[in-house]
Amino acid sequence: MRILKDFKIPNFKFPKLKMDEISELDEENLSQVHEKKKDIKYETKNYKTIKEVFNKSTTNFKNKVFILEKFDHKEPYTEITYEKFRKDVIGLGTGLIKLLNLKDKRVVIIGENTYHWYVSYMAMLCGVGIAVPVDKELPANEIENVIKRSKANAVIYSSKKKEVIKKIKNNLPEVDYFIQMNSNDGVNEQDVGVDYIIEQGDRIVESGDESFMNIEIDPEEFKVLIFTSGTTSNAKGVMINNKNLSENVNVVGAYVYLNEQDRFFSILPLHHTYESSIGFLLPMSVGASIAICEGLKYIVPNLQETHPTSMLAVPLLVENLYKKINANIVKSKKDKLVKSMIHVTNALKGVNVDIKRKVFKEIYDNLGGNIKRIVSAAAPIDAKVGKWVQDIGIDFLQGYGLTETAPIAALTPEFDPRVGAAGKAVTCAELKIHNPNENGEGEVFIKSNTLMMGYYEDEEATNEVVHIIDGERWFNSGDVGYLDQDGYLYITGRSKNVIVTQNGKNIYPEEIELLLGNIEEIKECMVYGKEEEESKELIISVKVIPDYEKIEEKYEKDLKEEEIHKIIWEEIKKMNKKLTSYKAIKSLEIKKDEFEKTTTMKIKRFAELQKDKK
């Protein structure tokens, strides 16, 4: 649903790596880093609602830091405790109900990742009404459309969206209140500030009114409305309840050990279920803290200032991190030594001697020093990237799910990682392959307690993807993949993206795109089937955005477009030799503008192909 026409891969800047630590290892050092395996208790929790999670965590961890945010780039991070968060959520929730009469109403939340976003979302989940998280990058007309479609009675927006709201508010007579984050302004017709509502709510609570926290939450009640990104079609509204969200919190502990010492690094937008569920509700449930990234260009300095242990990411970010760090290692002329030490440290780890954090200390320091795990989700990632992350001692986990599963359906257990797999069904879910072919591949069906209630005001669309099989609800993910003998899921494509040739062969673009990702001269690409006018046969084609920086470095500056086309085409021909003939790319187009993307940086194939038709 989000269009990122001007999105640029962030230019991470790392200092030149010396990697001196590698040369300083001796037997004494090895004896110091020998680690005994710790007994870790992996367990599934049993929360029924997010309000239960909120109550327990904000009480048990009240003096601990919960949110870290830079409200001024020139100032250090501000630390906000669980106690402060609890007070503000209760104050806002009470004020929204008592002052603005928004009980059981729908409230849009739109803005960048900021403290008041967390407070607003939690107030809604704890009893105000239905939260409608909206992508801040949408153009004004689409924001207006979502507000109308959701039948919202109020809009909570960040200061950076003030001009957009001002532009559309006169077209939204059904909206009673426009509520600005980080504002103390009192009620002025439709306008009011979040801080003012919290202050008034605090006074009501102090007078003895505990009605907000006494609201009973029905786990099955419709509580969140999220519009999908629409990579292949128009956006649908996904209806989610408290049970869907609390099950996300419940099941992760069975695969990944987290506690109050952990710190999550928040990069991805909170309106997306991946970040709001796994990057917000999950760390809150264990008393961990969340450091908010100021923006893509500040990733490295923010990591170094906040020292997180966990980072949720999408493949594009992980791959860029991998490329930048390795480019610096090559510049430092330590690439052969690093490869050698990866082999040595892997062998040592096999006998319970883990020296990776010491050997690769300089890489860790560039990532804040404490990073333990990186979780990649939302799209397939090149297995060699995940393997490299594991090789330097960072747990590389993959998650799988969709907005419709709120979002988690599968996750990599940290005690048994399988790089390349999308994960293993979480404990509240079951995966099966529908109508598998001779290779065991077929559409991925999901049965899970995290499965949505249905699509908003669209029973027909709901029935198209939710199937009742033996009395149970199974969701057709639209993804194609297979399960190995241990239940790990491998995604090979997306059924809506599949290219079906005239002789009945199915080709999944994602498989070819991963191979194209190994070509240095290619920055981004999209594989698709181009229809020949005369024969109507589909020709396997690719749109490519060249990596002009790499091309200049390898060849020469100011090359003509046809020369760049020839360079890339020669590399594609080499890659074609690794593919069966019917999968080979036959046509190359150099793309001059950026691909349209969703919030999680997936190319909007549907939108790109529609451009060609026009």
Backbone angles phi, psi at 107, to 5 degrees: -130, 120
Please check whether residue 327 is in contact with residue 549, taking contact to mean a CB–CB distance below 8 angstroms: no
pTM of the predicted model as reported, rounded to 2 decimal places: 0.83
Burial class (CB in 10 A: 0-12, 13-18, 19+), 162: middle
Question: Residue 19: its pLDDT value, please?
Answer: 64
∠ CA 328-332-334, rounded to 5°: 105
Q: What angle do CA 471, 476, 480 make, to 5 degrees?
A: 135
Token look-up 């001009």 returns 163
Place of tokens 């009469």: 101
Question: Cα(390)–Cα(520) distance, rounded to whole angstroms?
Answer: 22
Task: State the residue for tokens 């020469």.
Answer: 556
Asked if residues 335 and 326 have their Cβ atoms less than 8 Å apart, the reply is yes
Alpha helices per DSSP H over 24-176: 27-33, 50-60, 82-98, 115-123, 140-150, 162-168
Angle, helices 82-98 vs 115-123, to 10°: value is 60
What single-letter amino acid sits at 25? L
pLDDT score for 38: 58
- Every domain of the chain and the residues it spans: 20-37+279-493, 50-64+77-216, 498-613
DSSP state of 112: S
pLDDT, one tens digit per residue, over 288-297 is 999 999 998 8
Q: What is the largest CA-CA distance in the chain?
A: 78
- Cα angle, residue 218 at apex, residues 217 and 222 outer, rounded to 5°: 105
CB 422 within 8 A of CB 489: yes
Q: What is the pLDDT of residue 330?
A: 87
**Helices and strands (H, E) in the chain, number of each type:** 22, 27
User: To which CATH superfamily is domain 498-613 assigned?
Assistant: ANL, C-terminal domain (3.30.300.30)
Say if CB 303 and CB 265 are below 8 A apart. yes
Amino acid identity of 460? E
Is omega for the bond preceding 546 within 30 degrees of 0, making it cis? no
Indicate the burial class of 227 (C-beta count within 10 angstroms; 0-12, 13-18, 19 or more): buried
Task: Judge whether 50-64+77-216 and 498-613 match in fold.
Answer: no
Amino acid type, 523: K
Instruction: Report the DSSP beta bridge partners of residue 398.
Output: 376
d(C-alpha 525, C-alpha 527), whole Å: 7
- Cβ atoms of 185 and 192 within 8 Å: the answer is yes
- Could you tell me which of 269, 217, 265 has the C-alpha nearest to residue 245? 217
| CA atoms lying within 13 Å on the CB side of residue 21 | 17
In 130-179, alpha helices (H): 140-150, 162-168
**Residue ranges, the chain, pLDDT below 70:** 1-38, 229-234, 500-506, 533-536, 613-614
Which is nearest to 244 in space by CA: 407, 34, 43, 432?
A: 407
Q: Are 399 and 529 in contact (CB under 8 A)?
A: no
For residues 109, 115, 116, 117, the Cα torsion angle rounded to the nearest 10 degrees is: 10
Residues 359, 341 contacting (CB under 8 angstroms):
yes
How confident is the model at residue 232, as a pLDDT? 46
User: What is the CATH architecture of 50-64+77-216?
Assistant: 3-Layer(aba) Sandwich (3.40)
- d(Cα 244, Cα 461) in Å, to the nearest integer? 20
**Residues 580, 573: Cα–Cα separation, whole Å:** 13
Q: For residues 284 and 260, what is the distance between their CA atoms, to the nearest angstrom?
A: 9
What number of CA atoms fall less than 13 Å from residue 321's CA on the CB side? 23
Residue partners of 174: CB distance under 8 A and separation at least 6: 148, 151, 152, 153
pLDDT at 371: 97
pLDDT at residue 364, rounded to an integer: 95
DSSP characters for 335-363? HHHHHHHHHHHHHHHTTTB--HHHHTHHH
Indicate the SS3 state at residue 488. Answer: strand
Cα separation, 378 vs 317, in Å, equals 12
20-37+279-493 belongs to CATH 3.40.50.12780: yes
DSSP state of 269: -
pLDDT attached to residue 3: 29
